[in-house]
Amino acid sequence: MARGFFRDIVWQRLRRNRMAMAGAGLVLLMCLLATAAPLFGVDPGAIDISARLQPPGPGHLLGTDDLGRDVLVRLCYGARISLLVGFVAVGIATAIGIIFGALAGYYGGAWDAVIMRFVDIMLCFPSFFLILAVIAFLEPSIWNIMIIIGLTGWMGVARLVRAEFLSLREREFVLAARVLGASDLRVILRHILPNAMSPVLVHATLGVAGAILTESALSFLGIGVQPPTPSWGNMLIAGKQTLGTAWWLSVFPGLAILLTVLGYNLLGEGIRDALDPRLKD
């Protein structure tokens, strides 16, 4: 897709979409929190029993937990974990989906039949329960979580890419490239894939929110990121023990998850609308 299309049309549409800009602002805020985590100069695992369960105040803006650890510091370090999981898991899922979708859509025939039947089989299993089943046999760690979420989330991307390839492979510019002697790999990578990336970009943006939710749910259940490494999910489960007396331990991680997922969803919806050729400026 032409660079001018993104600069002159898509960006202008996105700027006029207040909800999309609000979502981008939330995403930027969480990225800044994750980046600023080391600037506090405080170990997120540092225990100070004398400061345990202090409410939000000047000394600790978001309070402390039952071990005296600063909630704001742990929240920022948890943002790094959640965003890392989201980006890496979606990156893995997108890469796998593009490969399978491109092969199915470009070559068709037996390639298409085999790959899409495999996609259908994968879609028969609820993703979250499939993740739970796999993690039951593996050590719960951040890298395993990212890889498993990525390996179980590529089917939607494959379907999108396949549909775009089926639409584009008989276009004049693709036929011209073949006539000029371009290899299949060059036609796929140079001519078709760049024009098929719009729905993939939208799906990836929304997928980051889904991956963050999945990681938080796994950590909440105790089979995700393990303490003392802070993540929003295990902060939530820790706060559940003192919900009646220390509300801030659950409220602030919950708000972080809510705002991050909301931000990515609003941004993804805005990008989808901006890329829609049926919209008139």
Alpha-carbon span 29 to 118, nearest angstrom: 39
pLDDT in tens, 77-92: 989 888 898 899 999 9
Rounded to 5°, angle at Cα 209 from 139 and 3: 120
Q: What CATH number belongs to 3-47+60-275?
A: 1.10.3720.10
Alpha-carbon span 13 to 270, nearest angstrom: 8
pLDDT of residue 236: 86
What's the CA dihedral at 252, 258, 261, 266 to 10 degrees?
-130
pLDDT of residue 116: 93
Rounded to 5°, angle at Cα 178 from 157 and 165: 15
pTM of the full predicted structure?
0.86
The stretches in the chain having pLDDT less than 50 are 1-2
- For residue 109, give the H/E element and its range: helix 109-123
pLDDT of residue 230: 85
Which residues, in sequence order, are bridge partners of residue 10? none
- DSSP 8-state code for residue 226: P
pLDDT of residue 8: 58
